[in-house]
Amino acid sequence: MADLRVNFCGVELKNPVTTASGTFGFGHEYGEFYDLGELGGIGVKGLTPEERLGNPAPRIAETPMGILNCVGLQNPGVDRFIEEQIPFLRQYDTRIIANVSGTTVEEYAGIVEKISDADVDLIEMNISCPNVKCGGLTFGTQPKMVEEVVSAAKRVAKKPLIVKLSPNVTDIAEIARAAVSAGADALSLINTLLGMRIDVESRRPILSNIMGGLSGPAVFPVAVRMVYQVHQAVDVPIIGMGGIRTGRDIVEMMLAGASAVAIGTACFADPMAPVRALHELEQFLDEHGIASVTELTGGLRI
């Protein structure tokens, strides 16, 4: 049996499979299908300083091998997460990855400071949400803004700080370097790709917010490419995400440079996707005589 453990910024993950923020709520629902303790970590729904209602429906549209969403960061606010959800998640032997957002540099610093003092293992800072008017994506697309917001957060972070990058940029390596130079301990990518669909009968956009974020297998090759580019550019661990469905997808993402992965949209098709993919990964490692999953990271041959 291969060793599945991954040391991620000093935090040991029992395996490299985590769940992607925004697709997994706080774990309650998928916890009805399997023991959440089987996962390496749980990326929780994106949190903001105050409760957010999110956008009106429709918030989802199907695309070829993908989906568009415009949920708009609906969440109960960081305080209620700390009070109500951490005790639930702590019942399971898995790592808690708290995903946080703000609309200003001060808000980002404030929420990172607050969540740092709570019982979470890793902090994932979302500077790439395409579905909110202020903040989110606007922070993640300009190197100067990335540096400013990440340094402010890093000054107050007492847990490893992962910065989640947007693929909606010309040069992902440049953004990655800005985040790392400002103190990011790790990077996660990719967030969703901005997309749009139109109902040709009514001539109206399907999504209430007109545009939304594309995820699912359709974006997988884009994610692999960007993880590869970022891995070439910086020297921090990467959580690779974007369209992963199978154990072989995990292997591919890790070969491109990821140290761990997150599975999201695949859960909608199959609630068991993360544990099924984990078992497939395990099988791949055994079949190929790979002793430790960490050997895969950046193992691409060119």
Partner 1 sequence: MSIQELCTVRDNRQLTGSVFALTLEAPRISSAAAPGQFVHIACGEARLLRRPISICQAHDGLLKLVFAAKGEGTQWLSRCSAGDVVDVLGPLGHGFDLSALGDRPVFIGGGIGVPPMLQTMQAARAAGAQPTAILGFRSRDAVILEDDFRAAGTVYIATDDGSYGIHGFVSDVLRAHIGAFTSVCCCGPKPMLRALAEIAQAAGIPCQVSMEERMGCGIGACLVCACALKAEDGAVRYGHVCKDGPVFYAEEVQW
101 binds partner 1 (CB under 8 A): no
Q: What is the arrangement of strands in the sheet containing 193-196, beginning at the earlier edge strand? A: 60-63, 66-69, 211-215, 193-196
Residue of the chain from 41, 205, 217, 240 that contacts partner 1 (CB under 8 A): 217
Run of H or E residues at 116: helix 105-116
Rounded least distance, CB 230 to partner 1, Å: 26
Instruction: Examine the residue annotation and report whether 129 is marked as an active-site residue of this protein.
Output: yes
Task: Point out which span in 28-36, 123-131, 168-176, 282-290 binds partner 1 (CB under 8 A).
Answer: 28-36
CA-CA-CA-CA torsion sign (113, 146, 264, 239) = negative
Q: At 69, phi and psi to the nearest 5?
A: -135, 155
Task: Point out which span in 64-72, 111-119, 225-233, 253-261 binds partner 1 (CB under 8 A).
Answer: 64-72
Residue of the chain from 30, 81, 139, 284 that contacts partner 1 (CB under 8 A): 30
53 binds partner 1 (CB under 8 A): yes
Run of H or E residues at 148: helix 143-156
Q: To 5 degrees, how large is the angle CA 50–CA 97–CA 235?
A: 120
Compare residues 210 and 291 and give the one whose CB is closer to partner 1.
210
Residue of the chain from 90, 117, 232, 268 that contacts partner 1 (CB under 8 A): 268
Helix (H, G, I), strand (E, B) or coil at 113: helix
Residue of the chain from 56, 87, 221, 299 that contacts partner 1 (CB under 8 A): 56
Task: Point out which span in 111-119, 136-144, 150-158, 266-274 binds partner 1 (CB under 8 A).
Answer: 266-274
Q: At 3, phi and psi to the nearest 5?
A: -80, 120
61 binds partner 1 (CB under 8 A): yes
Compare residues 150 and 267 and give the one whose CB is closer to partner 1.
267
Q: To 5 degrees, how large is the angle CA 257–CA 263–CA 268?
A: 155
Compare residues 129 and 230 and give the one whose CB is closer to partner 1.
129
Six-digit token string for 103: 């609309």
C-beta of residue 181 within 8 angstroms of C-beta of residue 151? no
Six-digit token string for 53: 């209602």
Rounded least distance, CB 33 to partner 1, Å: 7
Rounded least distance, CB 228 to partner 1, Å: 24
Residue of the chain from 24, 139, 220, 284 that contacts partner 1 (CB under 8 A): 24
Compare residues 31 and 49 and give the one whose CB is closer to partner 1.
31
Q: 117 to each of 87, 121, 124, 231, how far by Cα in Å?
A: 14, 10, 14, 30
C-beta of residue 279 within 8 angstroms of C-beta of residue 297? no
Task: Point out which span in 27-35, 89-97, 190-198, 251-259 binds partner 1 (CB under 8 A).
Answer: 27-35
Residues annotated as catalytic are 129
